[in-house]
Chains A and B, each alone.
Chain A
Amino acid sequence: MEKIKIALTKGRLAEKSIQLFETMGIRFSAFYEDSRKLIIPSDCENFEVILVKALDVTTYVENGAADLGIAGKDTLLETNADVFEIVDLGFGKCRFAVAGPTHFDINQAVKLSVATKYPKVASQYFSDQGKQIETIKLNGSVELAPLVGLSDVIVDIVETGRTLDENGLEILENMHDISARLVANKASFKTKNQALKPLIEEVKEVIAVRQG
């Protein structure tokens, strides 16, 4: 059988994804052995996991370097990749939110400046509301921006809200809910369907059981 390549987001999402495969009986022992390896074969050797950065998962899948991928809805929205988005995995739950200093009024700002790792998501959200904004693309610690006067507000993913709280920011508007998604390359999905379909069906079953 041909190997199926699966791109995973390095870090916590990869751990949860690997756990999901384990409940299906697909083990990746090497994942726990050597944390610096980027390509990890499954014990049965039918699958191969590639560990990449969050925003790169869709790039690998869209171009067919990986057949499947697991990525957060946040990165799917930002990259707007041409892939099949087959299963909502239900884990990695968080949401997109606009956050800023307490009592900041978004509607008062003449030209709202927004610091974010997700400039496309931010512009889309505000342009849907007919608001003009100025995006400032940052690569991390976005919470800092309003504190030092780089921007008025931020658009970021929020899980518990603790980081915001500790930095004296609060959620001003909730945008979308986010969770991890199983995505597939459009060509692989068709040409390797015999191998992929049973796997996808099983993922759906496991998720359905988990969600009761």
Chain B
Amino acid sequence: MPFDKQLPQGVSDLYSNDYEKKEYVIGQINQLTKLYGFKPIQTPTFEYYDLFMSMPNTLDTDQMIKLIDHDGKILVLRPDATIPIARMVASSADKKPFERLSYVTNIFRMQNGESDVFSRSFTQLGVECFKEKDAYVDVEMIVLAIESLQAIGVERFQIDLGQAKFFQSLLKTMNLTPADERLIQEKLEQKNESELEQVLGKYKIDKKSKNVLMRLTDLFGNPLSVVNEAKSLALNDDMREAIYELEWVVQQLEELNLADYISVDLGLVNNLNYYTGLMFQGYVHGFGRSIIQGGRYDRLTEEFGLPMDAIGFGVYIDQLIDVLEKQHHFLKHETIQVGVHSEKTIEAFQVARQLRQAGMVVNLFSYETELNVDLDQKLIQLRDEHTPFESTEDLIDKVGHMYGKN
């Protein structure tokens, strides 16, 4: 195929059926976020590279898709949804309306791999709540995440909770260099027990802290038992506080009868320079990637000069559609269309308008449709069946009846 008719790597067209699915998924979740008081917002598709560069270690700058502005400044296509929203909130003069924000947006990432599994442009739906830190909000966000997945009929999913502060408070006591901290975090993130042990062997760390770090690789699963064990591992007040916070959230979720959807992993330590408290990820049984990512980030707006606590999560819409397809959730319920035919075109237009007002899909003058109306012969044809009609009212009544049945 000639170059000018091909698509670049990592992007794709969405045909009507697929787009309808996407609209459906987004619509269902957004109905819910509205009921929770979230108001939709939009940030620009591209912003200055410096905005994302100034965030310490949050995003891989190699993965950003860059453009050069006419004055030579570097722009990037939105590589993350939350940072621009934090910027927007912090730079707004009017703080009041910014409390609960929702978005549906495309995220752009350069994928440098040889395979095309990861798309370079994907849709994320998310909510962000900017409000003074409050444990009730943490619970509410997790409930919203669970209800969002329920609303579109996802089965066998699981929300895995973590607590950034537990690990962060432990690291703080060790006085390591940032590079060493990163190395420990990397090994823990991989649950790589043997290499973590090797790495820890190189540093002068007291035995107790070392033990707790090693235990973290395996500290996941049933919420209450993990929390209980973690309590006995807490070495200082900050760690204890982190665990009590998590325990409270878990208890609330249990009492709301949502315990079945919850697991806890205290070794969940990715994106730690971003998250400051509760973190969570959503997984679906039999699907290899996370479909929800979220957590509390109380220090992000500080980067823009306005300290404000915040918590949010994002749903990967494209992956969610894959999940629903895997679970056979999109039954074919395509609506039928009505064709209207007449020598007198004006009359056909008028009847079509009335049918549409009655909520039917009309494809004027088409013979591809299952249901056809011949105004000149006063006949309604549904497949091989012909039904006569008297007046326009009678027509709309009869067509409506057949339309409803099919």
Contact A63 B117 (CB under 8 A): yes
The residues in B between 186 and 213 inclusive whose CB is less than 8 angstroms from any CB of A are 190-195
Stretch at the interface among A84-92, A157-165, A167-175: A84-92
* Chain B CB within 8 A of A192 CB: yes
* Chain B CB within 8 A of A99 CB: no
Q: Knowing A83-B190, A86-B192 touch, does A187 contact B287 (C-beta < 8 A)?
A: yes
- Complex CA gap A164/B148 in Å reads 59
Hey, which chain A residues are within 8 Å of B288, CB to CB?
Answer: 62-65, 185, 187-188
The residues in B between 254 and 301 inclusive whose CB is less than 8 angstroms from any CB of A are 263, 265, 283-290
Q: Mark A78-120, 1 if CB is under 8 A from B, else 0.
A: 0000011111100000000000000000000000000000000
The secondary-structure label for the interface of chain A is: mixed
Q: Knowing A63-B117, A64-B289, A193-B221 touch, does A187 contact B194 (C-beta < 8 A)?
A: no
* Chain B CB within 8 A of A59 CB: yes
Q: Knowing A187-B283, A190-B160 touch, does A85 contact B117 (C-beta < 8 A)?
A: no
* Chain B CB within 8 A of A191 CB: yes
Q: Knowing A59-B115, A190-B265, A193-B221 touch, does A85 contact B287 (C-beta < 8 A)?
A: no
- Complex CA gap A186/B287 in Å reads 10
On chain A, the number of residues with a Cβ less than 8 Å from chain B's Cβ atoms is 22
Contact B263 A190 (CB under 8 A): yes
Q: A-B pairs with CB below 8 Å: how many?
A: 55
- Complex CA gap A187/B194 in Å reads 21
- Complex CA gap A204/B117 in Å reads 32
* Chain A CB within 8 A of B156 CB: yes
* Chain A CB within 8 A of B158 CB: yes
Contact A85 B158 (CB under 8 A): no
Contact A187 B289 (CB under 8 A): yes
Q: Knowing A63-B288, A187-B283, A191-B283 touch, does A88 contact B115 (C-beta < 8 A)?
A: no
Hey, which chain B residues are within 8 Å of A62, CB to CB?
Answer: 288
Q: Knowing A186-B290, A190-B158, A190-B263 touch, does A85 contact B283 (C-beta < 8 A)?
A: no
Hey, which chain B residues are within 8 Å of A184, CB to CB?
Answer: 191
Hey, which chain A residues are within 8 Å of B283, CB to CB?
Answer: 187, 190-191
| Of the residues B160, B192, B286, contact of A85 by C-beta under 8 Å | B192
Nearest Cβ on chain A to B16's Cβ, whole angstroms: 28
Hey, which chain B residues are within 8 Å of A65, CB to CB?
Answer: 288
Contact A191 B221 (CB under 8 A): no
Told that A63-B289, A86-B191, A192-B285 touch, could you supply 6 new A-B pairs with CB distance under 8 A? A88-B194, A187-B289, A189-B191, A190-B283, A191-B283, A193-B263
Listed by A's residue number, 9 A-B pairs whose Cβ atoms lie within 8 Å are A64-B287, A84-B190, A84-B191, A84-B192, A187-B284, A188-B288, A190-B265, A190-B283, A193-B221
Chain A positions within 8 Å of B, measured between CB atoms, are 59, 62-65, 83-88, 184-193, 197
The 6 nearest A-B residue pairs measured at CB = A64-B288, A88-B194, A85-B192, A191-B285, A84-B191, A187-B283
